[in-house]
Amino acid sequence: MPRIDTDAAREYDDESFAAAGVFRTDDAKVVYACFEPGQFIPVHAPDSDVVVSVRRGRGLVREGATDHRVEPGDAVAIESGTRRGIRADDGERLEALLVTAPPPTDAEHEPVRRGLRNGEFEPELGESAGTAPADEPGAGR
């Protein structure tokens, strides 16, 4: 397995969170995500498991109806089909390694694109986006 160089992957964007792909196979995708204060990945519910490993900063990881306050060293694992999102605290940058299996489809990321366009952490989810609202693990499969 190749070593993941998070220093080389570290990249920030003033407009939106930045995600550098650091490893990918047909079965899994790994990105290093960097958030300026207050930036987020909107809530969505793809049919993939995800592990969020916080490397720097503080923020919130949404898992279904639960908000997890996170800081360096914390990891949150979220089952496929469960609503999830990530938001950096105001006033602090956040960096996290995200491992998804299998990689989400383009259609499953439509709520993310819509939420970013509209500045919404919790865009409405629906069947047209390939996902159904899901507050429990495994819902929406």
Alpha helices of the chain — where are they, by DSSP H? 6-9, 110-118
Query: Are 60 and 78 contacting, i.e. CB atoms less than 8 angstroms apart?
Result: no
pLDDT tens string 13-30: 999 999 999 999 999 999
Token pair of 136, please? 């429990």
pLDDT above 50 for 5: yes
Residue-range domain boundaries for the chain: 6-122
pTM of the model: 0.85
Q: d(Cα 31, Cα 49) in Å, to the nearest integer?
A: 14
Query: Are 21 and 29 contacting, i.e. CB atoms less than 8 angstroms apart?
Result: yes
CATH class of 6-122: mainly beta
pLDDT tens string 81-133: 999 999 999 999 999 999 999 999 999 989 999 999 999 999 875 543 343 33
